[in-house]
Amino acid sequence: MATEPVSLRALDLSALGREIEHSSDEGWTTARHPVLRAEIESLDAASRLTIEIEESPGFDARWSVELRTPELTARHGFWTGETPERLVEFFDDLARSWRGWVHDKVLSAMEHDFRLRATHDGTGHVTLWIGFGPDLTENERYWHLVAPLELEAGALDRLAAQMRAELTVP
């Protein structure tokens, strides 16, 4: 029996996670609650991170992340004890420190399904390392994805304002 080759450009890792994404006419997430949606585009516009968070009471929100680069497209859905405000605060902190910082700035989801790590090169560029998978600890039993998104440090204030506008519940 012949098998179809897998293209890395179309690799969909969602079936490997705890939850499988469902598609709809509006996008790749079907939710019972309204969805907050934010996108972060790389400096060269070649890569994009999309974050969708269900608006739900309390901390029990479903998050979906999708990373598109010239080399791959990957999606992961997970439940986390995080609120959208924590993500907004992370980007506010980056914007306040736009001239640079010494140690990595990290936002890590409580259940280890999603991590953002920001590094600053001291010359005006920020690398946002995106990591997601079912367990981002050092446990090699699970898959995980880590990829960079290059940003301009001078644009962090606009990015923080965008995150606040897109992820704040009205």
Backbone torsions φ then ψ of 69, nearest 5 degrees: -130, 170
Range of the structural domain that residue 73 is part of: 8-167
The pTM of the full predicted model, rounded to 2 decimals, is 0.76
Our count of domains for the chain comes to 1
Task: Return d(Cα 166, Cα 127) in angstroms, integer.
Answer: 22
Q: Is residue 104 in some structural domain? A: yes
Q: Which DSSP string corresponds to 119-149?
A: EE-SSSEEEEEEEESS--SS-TTS--EEEEE
Q: Is residue 150 in some structural domain? A: yes
Q: Which CATH number do you get for residue 84?
A: 2.30.31
Q: Is residue 1 in some structural domain? A: no
Reported as a single tens digit per residue, the pLDDT across 112-127 is 888 999 999 999 999 9
Reported as a single tens digit per residue, the pLDDT across 128-167 is 999 988 766 666 677 788 899 999 999 999 999 999 999 8
Q: Is residue 134 in some structural domain? A: yes
Q: Is residue 131 in some structural domain? A: yes
Q: Is residue 3 in some structural domain? A: no
Q: Is residue 2 in some structural domain? A: no
Reported as a single tens digit per residue, the pLDDT across 90-114 is 999 999 999 999 999 999 887 788 8
The per-residue pLDDT for 99 is 94
- What letters, b where the CB count within 10 A reaches 16 and e where it falls short, cover 101-135? beeebebebebbbbbbbbebeeeeebbbebbbbbe
